[in-house]
Structure 1
């Protein structure tokens, strides 16, 4: 990949990160400002649309050269250490929900003991917890399948090196796209389980 392509990818990534910060601020203000469920749903859909747009840009760039996505120079060492097929593990969304549920319960313990309902993550219903558990199991199965495909790619390298590398790159780009689709579908399903204020 040419240096200008790496710069372009780094710019796309940085734009997306900046957009995420802005949208997180907007979502936080909306929740604390008493936005309606419909207003929150609109904001969430806009955030998801931006995620899809970012995935499409990544996919186009990965078809040119996929290798930078597996050790991106635009990420910190810590970020690179937790990468899974060019991004975060979809199951990490679910682990984050579980962690936030615990924090919400701790921070609002006195209110919970008084019987107050706030509508946040600390108030997941039993049905929601069961759905999140099911989503986690399904997501981990899909992660394992994609990880196995990634591991199998290295054993298929043989013959004409240039042709093998091209084939390998195309296959890696396809796996990256599948991983992005799994990230998106897991996130969409998780958002569907949660109420708008929880999401």
Structure 2
């Protein structure tokens, strides 16, 4: 989250000081895409050891984790955010929150750009549905072996077939890791495709909006956790977040 705030400040400075310098704006956008790629690569390495822990990580807030799709944001959120910014879909509360952006150039999206965005949206929904179906099937696969082992256990939560239980859970964790990696690949692919459709200035404005939304949601969620007593309950300050950088 600290990196997200640094990136947001740099993007805002670029909008203020270099709005007519497309080459510089492209460099800034590429730099922040590289930050996201590094994050995903590092997460993939860590998730090899325990995939399920990244699907609803303990360092994320309760509200953030409730909004996750296979460990992160839905790729279609990228397209929906652009729709909101260009006025194609209206959301008064989000528009007000992103006021500095909605007064920019996102509203100048051309008809050819909109056609490309619509096509990307349709493709994204299909890919999301495929991964959602695979994820659901993986959850069902885990049911039978674990259910039978639990039923045959003499004591609740224990089994005289410890190695079999470990093997079943390890296999499930491995499957969760693989689907997480595939979901991250889709998130990155859709982000890059969207950036290619937008102009450099539009791309910077989009990244400002996505980072403001992510940082804002994290702070709001932290406050909600405190209000609900969740932070004290789990004895955590929630310094980090499970959200994605867009």
TM-score band, normalised by the shorter chain? 0.7 to 0.9
Q: Identify the match of residue 4 of structure 2 among 1, 13, 20.
A: 20
Structure with bigger RCO (C-alpha 8 Å, 6+ apart):
2
Taking the TM superposition and a 5 Å limit, the aligned residue runs for 1:1-199 are 17-35=1-19, 36-102=21-87, 103=95, 108=103, 120-157=105-142, 158-159=144-145, 160-199=164-203
Task: Tell me the number of residue pairs that the alignment of Structure 1 and Structure 2 aligns.
Answer: 172
Cα deviation, residue 107, structure 1: 5.8
Cα deviation, residue 129, structure 1: 0.6
Say if 2:85 and 2:102, in contact at 8 Å, map to a contact too.
no
**SS of equivalent to 2:201:** coil
For 1:11, the equivalent position in structure 2 comes to: none
Say if 2:18 and 2:24, in contact at 8 Å, map to a contact too.
no
For 2:212, the equivalent position in structure 1 comes to: none
Normalized against structure 2, the TM-score is what?
0.66
RMSD, aligned α-carbons: 1.7
Cα deviation, residue 76, structure 1: 1.4
Deviates more, 1:158-167 or 1:135-144: 158-167
Normalized against structure 1, the TM-score is what?
0.81
**Structure 2: runs of 5+ lacking an equivalent:** 88-94, 146-163, 204-246
Distance 2:23 2:182 in 1: 31
Deviates more, 1:157-166 or 1:64-73: 157-166
**What do residues 138-193 of structure 1 show as CA deviations (whole Å, max 9, x unaligned)?**
01111110010010012222443322211111111011000000000000000000
Say if 2:113 and 2:197, in contact at 8 Å, map to a contact too.
yes
Say if 2:51 and 2:173, in contact at 8 Å, map to a contact too.
yes
